[in-house]
Amino acid sequence: MLTRTAIYEGNVRPGQEDEFFRRVQEELEPLWRRFPHVTAVRVQRIRSSDKDAQPVAMILEMDFPDQAAIDDCLASPIRPESHDATLKVMQLFEGRFYHVVSEARTLSPA
């Protein structure tokens, strides 16, 4: 399994936090859930971080079975629709977002 992660580095404009996350839920999450081959979508609102950390407001994780599934997703007609909707919601945000793809191992506690 591979996870494509979008990191929203920066801050929601002051006083716009509720509006930003409401619009993420109502406008973006339905699009993200429609991507082909996605097996799970996680939207993480950051509650706290280390004092010296770069500000991150939100992390989006989408799981896919393999790289071919990610490639197919990125070629999907849903992608430009999602990107356009994201740019509109990002007007409430000061910062940037970028993506990384990772492969994880799950470890049991010692």
Mean pLDDT of 89-108: 95
Mean pLDDT of 24-39: 97
- Going from N- to C-terminal start, the domains of the chain cover 2-102
Mean pLDDT of 63-67: 97
CATH 3.30.70.100 fits 2-102, yes or no: yes
pTM to 2 decimals? 0.91
Spatial separation of the C-alpha atoms in residues 63 and 52, rounded to whole Å: 29
